[in-house]
Chains A and B, each alone.
Chain A
Amino acid sequence: MSIRLPGVVTQSHGLQRFMLLLGFGLVFLFVFVAIFAPWLAPYDFNADRAGGVVFGTQQGPSADHWFGTTVGGTDVLSRVIYGARTAVEVIVLAVVLSGVVGVPLGLVSGYLGGWLDRVLVLVMDALYAFPSLLLAIVVSIVLSGGNSSAFGGILAAAISITVVFVPQYYRVIRNATLSVKAEPYVDAAKVVGVRTPRILRKHIFSNVSSSLPVIGTLNASEAILTLAGLGFLGFGIEPSAAAEWGYDLNKALPDASSGVWWTGVFPGLAIVLIVLGATLVGESLNDILNPLLRTRGADTSEADQAEIEREFDTLRSAHGRPQAASLGPDTESKTESSEEKRVAALSLTDLAVSFRTDAGQVRAVKGISFDVAPGEVVAVVGESGSGKSVSSRAVLGLLPSTAEVSGSARLGDRDLLGLSNRSLRPLRGDRVSMVFQEPATALNPVYTVGWQIIEGLQAHRKISKKAARARAVELLEMVGMPDPEERVGYYPHQLSGGQKQRVVIAMAIACDPDVIIADEPTTALDVTVQASILELLLSLRERLGTAIVLITHNMGVVADMADRVVVMYRGSIVEQAPARELFATPRHPYTRALLDAVPHLGRSHGPGLVDPGNDVVLRVDDLVVEFPGRLGQPAFRAVDHVSLEIRKGEVLGLVGESGSGKSTVGRTAVGLQQPTSGTIDVSGHRVSGLSDRQLRTMRSRFGFVFQDPASSLNPRMSIGQCIAEPLHVQTDMTQSQIDTKVAELLDSVELGGGYAERFPHELSGGQRQRVSLARALSLDPDLLIADEPTSALDVSVQARVLELFGELQQRLQFACLFISHDLAVVDTLANRVAVMQHGRLVEIGDREQVLGHPQEEYTQRLIAAVPVPDPLEQARRRAARATIA
């Protein structure tokens, strides 16, 4: 703890730091008093006379007795000082003991699960639910054999308190373990065959332990109160053995009625101050360390920003024409927009947003101007950190109070910026409304969808409840909700993701707004659902003449929907143009690079088939995976009789929508999940049905790349350690051999050797995914499973990672199961493609055949639903899709 504290102090600021320091001050004061009690106290705690002179009972404060004397004739100050010693001794013992018992129990129980976990949870919950003081009393009586002898006084008290606090450590550590256990980096360690004790130590404990100082200090304060309570009730330490504040308070209680205040007030204050100190330390630590309570930072890290910037620079130098390289707003489009100004529904001029952060002002949006005309769809595109979402929220005044906004946003003849919340409120939802990215979180889970629509209506219109309900049903019908009469009474969790988004759209159009701002409205949805939601938005535009600002990163969606496109890069607009023009002749190099980076379904000349004589590396035969249902529910079959093969040097793209079971196939193939039936062979060795121990020697044959680069690397291990772990576990290489190998691997994923010393949080998403790739390849595996490896990355970054991936695969000739929801990505690098739906394999075959001439109806629908980044082609596809559906 002492090593961490300076860091903690520097992370804090202002009042938080004051509270933390006050807490430390109080705690240190009491520890000091405890250690030096015999020198500080004027008398012994039990002495009622000094030098033959009796102190006298209940004497008020005086020069000889600063705090007066007790009813027993002892010096109050001395008792308070010695009491500090007792308290500190008991607390240190109790906190250490309960940590030593509770932490391992929580770790093991949370990680291993099973019956041990269930029994422990039951016992600990029962202990936890029981009044703690009562429990401590009973235990202290048990320990002292029914009569409070001086049985190791301090130790007995400490153990009584320990019993009370073990369940707390256990619960906190178990819960933390459960959540860390689900992190991909723990799976990543399991995939390479790391043994359980090492996983517990290296991956789980190191990440869970950050909560220990917080629980420790907080429990310390509760321990003091429990000790005082025990003493007060007469079940504490034998009074002749040690001074104890709680006991003194009990003795002082009758004094209170007779106006003798000093006997009770001083020991009481001592308790209050020491508990205050410990609590302040604990709470401040929690405030500073707990990410849940931290104010939300920027969406992208500095490393991510730098990465996008780097990609931008390289692309610009590749394409660059000097005159087009300037970043300022496009002058031509500005003149164009000034003509439209009279009819614009929403018009932004020089909108700039900056945030006050600890690191100073951060400019998120640097003066952008564009207009939306009634009935027009303007797409705002850009990668993460481009400021596209921030600018739209600024329009409605929905940014946090740390934001500073300037410029103007005119809605008709009113400027929205600078309006107070009070005058802005009637406009929100009435004239300008929003559709959010994640429909699951944009709806309040405790109200029915009808209630939420009606609430919005009644906020803007004088309308009776009955009429509002009728209107809600009408709105739901308008957005294509099946059975709107009944579903108006549904709670959000009873609807599917697409239906939820329809509700969100219904709310957005409830008051016939002039402008709808749709912030990534389909990003969280499957591609077939996305197609129908986009369809709905377009039809609403036709019918209602609403202007739509569509914020998205998906060029296919832009091509499908937009009349005009605004391209943003790092807070500025680099180009705005009509959609067809922008896609046909992008003027700015960034736009061009962005369009080039987008994988385009059906346009790539991906790899052909591998030599059919190659060895089969992965053979999945008739695989079934079921997850047990919860009480009274049938088991859920995630994978339903799936068979497939991958040969050496071959990439099989496994595609499907969410819940199709594609990831489960991948996890089962590497033994992270046991099959219910069916077999899996890797390089001719049976891997299904093996125990973890038996599987361990096989583990060097496969690697796994996880979806989320942020969580697939252990945040407390350096990049070098992350990559070296499989080598440590699976080989007998010496440290220097391992170092060399790590440097080679880093080189092969185009990261310099200097990265070995860095930690995951210092890297960008793309860099982290390269590290994951290096780790997966460290043992030269026969088989690589890549589960959505690029879906969390921006397109320009994704393009580079995919390119690297293809090169490495060609060079190393491993077999690869490439799992993705993105057909266009699979199209660029798979030899063969398999399509899954509801756990079944719908279609499998050559890439060109499956993606070019699909035989199955589901595959056809899936492919038709993918928007391609070309407005003309997309218009044709849209027409064609209408005939399929």
Chain B
Amino acid sequence: MATAEVLAPLDPPGGQPSARRRGPLSPLVRYLLLRLALLIPMIWVLVTMVFVLMRVIGDPIQAALGGRLTAEQIAERKADAGLDRPILTQYWEYISGLFRGDFGTTLTDNRKVSDILVVNGAATLELAFWSLLVAFAVGIPLGRLAARYRDRVPDVLLRLFSILVYAAPVFFVGLLLKLAFTPFGWPSSGRASIATELTLQDVHPRTNIMIVDAILWGDPALIGDVLKHAMLPAIALGLLTGGVFLRLVRVNLLQTLRMDYVTAARARGISERRVMNKHAFRNALVPVVTVMGMQVALLLGGAILTETTFEWKGLGYQLSEYLIRRDFLAVQGIVTVIALIVGAMSFLIDVIVAFVDPRVRF
């Protein structure tokens, strides 16, 4: 998903001269409202797609419970779940449920999807946070280094590195990490040791984000245990995303470095370090941020694999469990939630872009 974006950097927005302040709304507000308005059809398409696909699969009750229950019991369960009603009525139920924050209930273990979101979503959020940390730490400095030494040894090595981390599936990297670290007794599955998890059951208020819970509890040993567990999954997923960031930063920096305003800044006697930081890098950030936003999808996709590899009980792990159990009501709920997260992220990115690029604001 990343490659096409890395290779075809987006055009910077704008280009047309000065739109003077007009109308009662500031341009920033108008821009954000417009973005929000564009988001609605996108989310609608996504959730409708999920609904349609889930109905195409067939009867969810039959798929999940067929063979274990009698035909009558199945019919009863169907009526309970409202699945015997016309498809449009079900669609209406589904959509109006979304507005109430009701994503449905799982078939196999009768959990509310919103509960899954609170518990497992928190785990995925935590994993995403750690791996983004790794990705930024790897991608940005190395990308700048590669751009600076374009076509020389560091650049070539870094590009090979970025292709390698991209070429290695996250579960293979996970497997290698496990092979390398388990001999030293390093924890390589789960979010914390069982003892820690049991202790943290009693934290109030409980956030389900292990590191926050551990800090709230205040025991350094627990914090260390949580961090240790997070390290391998964060590296596996972070390297994947970091490789993409590296190339993204490199390509966009190379493009801004050849802009006239960079030459102009040099001609004014601005120091090379400042030219790099203030003129080239800041401008390169606009497309970088936009594409990073799209990486959220990659991150979520990677999270499914990473979570399965490391038994990290997040949304992806839970989703693949339900998929194996053919619990399609659960799948529908979780996938809908993911669609909403993707939508929300893309709006968040628009906001960030507005703050990086004044042409959007004025």
Contacts and interface: CB of A to CB of B under 8 A. Distances in A.
B157 to A, nearest CB: 11
A272 interface: yes
A132 B1 contact: yes
Nearest to B323: A137
A436 B260 contact: yes
A253 B14 CA distance: 49
Contacts of B263: 398, 436, 442
A695 interface: no
Interface string A405-441: 0000000000000000100011111100110101001
Contacts of A369: none
A456 interface: yes
A264 B175 contact: yes
Interface string B271-295: 1101000110011001000000010
B151 interface: yes
A253 B260 contact: no
A246 B274 CA distance: 47
A175 B3 CA distance: 16
A442 B258 CA distance: 11
B251 A221 contact: no
B305 A443 contact: no
Contact of A459 (B12, B268, B320): B268
B241 interface: no
Given A215-B4, A229-B305, A455 B267 contact: no
In this complex, the member of A234, A293, A445 whose beta carbon has the largest number of chain B beta carbons within 10 angstroms is A445
Contact of A279 (B20, B167, B259, B324): B167
A265 interface: yes
A219 B19 CA distance: 40
Contacts of B110: none
B166 A275 contact: yes
A98 interface: no
Nearest to B294: A129
B326 interface: yes
Interface string A140-170: 0110011100000000000000000000100
Interface stretch (A119-127, A598-606, A834-842): A119-127
B179 interface: yes
Contacts of B193: none
Contact of B339 (A130, A398, A428): A130
Interface string A284-302: 0010001011001000000
Interface string B306-349: 00110000000001100110101001000100110011001000
Contacts of A275: 166-168
Interface string B1-19: 1011001110010100111
Contacts of A134: 300-301, 304, 319, 335, 338
B156 interface: yes
Contacts of B49: 126-127
Given A129-B42, A222-B3, A427 B339 contact: no
Given A15-B151, A232-B308, A282-B3, A398 B266 contact: yes
Contacts of A229: 169, 171, 301, 304-305
B4 to A, nearest CB: 5
16 contacts: A15-B151, A123-B45, A131-B304, A146-B58, A246-B171, A256-B182, A259-B183, A273-B167, A276-B163, A283-B159, A290-B7, A429-B269, A445-B12, A446-B359, A455-B278, A493-B359
Give me the 9 closest cross-chain CB pairs, A-B, nearest first.
Answer: A429-B268, A268-B172, A429-B269, A275-B167, A131-B301, A428-B269, A441-B260, A133-B301, A126-B45
Interface of A: 15, 122-123, 125-134, 137-139, 141-142, 145-147, 168, 171-172, 175, 214-215, 218-219, 221-222, 225, 228-229, 232-235, 246, 249-250, 252-253, 256-257, 259, 261, 264-265, 268, 271-273, 275-276, 279-280, 282-283, 286, 290, 292-293, 296, 396, 398, 421, 425-430, 433-434, 436, 438, 441-448, 455-456, 459-460, 491, 493-497, 504, 507, 631-633
Given A275-B167, A426-B269, 7 more contacts: A129-B342, A229-B171, A256-B179, A264-B172, A455-B265, A459-B269, A494-B20
